[in-house]
Structure 1
């Protein structure tokens, strides 16, 4: 790319640059004109060249070798054995032991003994009873949309609207899709939520703004947490007003996704629900045994780029045209 005009065209044999045009400024990028010898499907650097910039993956430390107080493991660190690729990660604490953390530095889980109702009783037994009942209805092919609604509201202790979820299950899904969700997927979601204390064994930390923290969990643990989100089980997340504990966090519970108003929900909500339900369907068929790590890293003030003063040119760019992301 021309550093002055930021214009450029890709030729299959070489890069060519054009003289700056008076119609363009240093803040513009001409993405309209395509080289005549190009097939018209992309502009810039070939994707094959960009993909091969890093020919070797970065070296990762073995989990057992990590000695970082800011790295929290929800699983027992282990060394990957290519001879046992299907090994299931084990929860950090064994034998169904759950070690709770109930403060502003950790995700407050519904299985905590500190999660109590307004009258001082623990909410987890209420949740267990309600989910067990729904699971039985699901397994006997008797569960209805109304049963899901009653279960979620009883678990949360508050009323919600379910127009979007109801529209998806009762109007958009085919009879087979609806039947499979109600009789099979729903039962698995109940099981994942009911066993969150055994699957996770400890709550994940919150990766707060300005912190340098890392959390590693299994895909099954992530699935269990998402099942809790489906049933709107995470405490205190309904209040995101200024000054509240979670004002700077997105609400993980699905109640805002279920709400659709009189129209039954906008298209984007329906499609998002379809995507999440497809994930639920896949983990019901086969639970993956992978491990995932999330890291929040804050750059030191001395390393924060001063964008308005930067003279660095743009890196090589590949722009795909007339193709969907699945075709690239």
Structure 2
């Protein structure tokens, strides 16, 4: 495992550790997850307020220096203790949370199985979880169970964040998501969190057994008869070239437009955009008048 370039590239951004060709959780994290997996009668985690304290303990055991803010603590308490009904909350802490803890206990073995199989899925093509550099094509295959475990790490805020900026990686933990619902409540934000939480309820009751692939395709310049270089990452943000004249249609489908039109999505520069913050998608139709 230590010789796998794909694993080594992503390892600094994962919460697990590698030693003697094996991935593992620190012993304190294992004990905490085992207690959670046995239910609230063993872990005493039966509310959003106490869940946040357990999350903070996990982060301390992983050696994280960054402290989660007060708004995050209040957000977990607000959602699980007030916005959830009593019936839903009891089910969450007695059934869903123990199942998620058991899933996290399997994360090291799920990752090891993933890398053991990664080189045999597409006839030698790399499919392992890894950091893919700028303008580098690649594909990654992940089992839905592994995806569920990784997203549970996000829910528990277990991904290290101090080094993500060096690779321009977007936020992945849920701390800002929960902080936002407390600091500036909106019904839309509440339902966005409910949608995400429903995913964890579904996988805890019936774990899907399929695989998901993520592929980046890069346009090749090999057939261009003259020298062309790829634009840098800040090319468009610094461009001073004026746009042609256009009109914006606020209503109707693109199929209903009388002239040639473009459908424009004002997307975030990161994949996933503001899904873990307060992001909303805006779509307009642009119609060129030239």
The verdict on a shared fold, with TM-score over 0.5 as the criterion, is: yes
Closer/same/farther in 2, CA of residues 215 and 186 from structure 1, 3 Å limit: same
Q: Greater relative contact order: 1 or 2 (C-alpha under 8 angstroms, separation 6 or more)?
A: 1
SS of the residue aligned with 1:272? Answer: helix
Q: Given that residues 134 and 151 in structure 1 are in contact (C-alpha distance below 8 angstroms), is that contact kept between their aligned partners in structure 2?
A: no
Q: Quick one: distance in 2 between partners of 1:261 and 1:317?
A: 34
Q: 1:34-113 maps to which residues of 2 (within 5 A)?
A: 103-105=8-10, 108-113=13-18
SS of the residue aligned with 1:204? Answer: coil
Q: Quick one: distance in 2 between partners of 1:155 and 1:140?
A: 16
What is the count of residue pairs matched by the alignment?
Answer: 204
Q: Given that residues 107 and 205 in structure 1 are in contact (C-alpha distance below 8 angstroms), is that contact kept between their aligned partners in structure 2?
A: no
Do structure 1's residue 131 and structure 2's residue 22 form an aligned pair? no
The unaligned stretches of length 5 or more in structure 1 are 1-92, 94-98, 115-121, 310-315, 321-328
Counterpart in the other structure of 1:271? 191
Q: CA deviation at 1:214?
A: 0.7
Q: TM-score, normalised by structure 1?
A: 0.53
Q: 1:23-38 maps to which residues of 2 (within 5 A)?
A: none
Q: Given that residues 7 and 130 in structure 2 are in contact (C-alpha distance below 8 angstroms), is that contact kept between their aligned partners in structure 1?
A: no
Closer/same/farther in 2, CA of residues 196 and 123 from structure 1, 3 Å limit: closer
Q: Given that residues 49 and 74 in structure 2 are in contact (C-alpha distance below 8 angstroms), is that contact kept between their aligned partners in structure 1?
A: no
Q: Quick one: distance in 1 between partners of 2:25 and 2:141?
A: 28
- Write out per-residue CA displacement over residues 135-185 of structure 1, whole angstroms, 9 at most, x where no aligned residue: 334366942223311221111125322222221111111111111111111
The unaligned stretches of length 5 or more in structure 2 are 61-65, 116-127, 231-240, 245-252, 258-290
Q: 1:205 aligns with which of 116, 123, 130?
A: 130
**Structure with more of its chain in helix, by fraction:** 2
- Write out per-residue CA displacement over residues 242-280 of structure 1, whole angstroms, 9 at most, x where no aligned residue: xx424x111111111121375464434322211111011
Q: CA deviation at 1:123?
A: 6.7
Q: Quick one: distance in 1 between partners of 2:5 and 2:26?
A: 13
Closer/same/farther in 2, CA of residues 167 and 110 from structure 1, 3 Å limit: same
SS of the residue aligned with 1:260? Answer: helix
Do structure 1's residue 229 and structure 2's residue 154 form an aligned pair? yes
SS of the residue aligned with 1:162? Answer: helix
Q: Given that residues 193 and 228 in structure 1 are in contact (C-alpha distance below 8 angstroms), is that contact kept between their aligned partners in structure 2?
A: yes
Larger radius of gyration: 1
Q: Given that residues 112 and 124 in structure 1 are in contact (C-alpha distance below 8 angstroms), is that contact kept between their aligned partners in structure 2?
A: yes
Q: Given that residues 138 and 217 in structure 2 are in contact (C-alpha distance below 8 angstroms), is that contact kept between their aligned partners in structure 1?
A: yes
Alignment RMSD (CA, Å): 3.5
Q: 1:245 aligns with which of 142, 166, 170?
A: 166
SS of the residue aligned with 1:294? Answer: strand
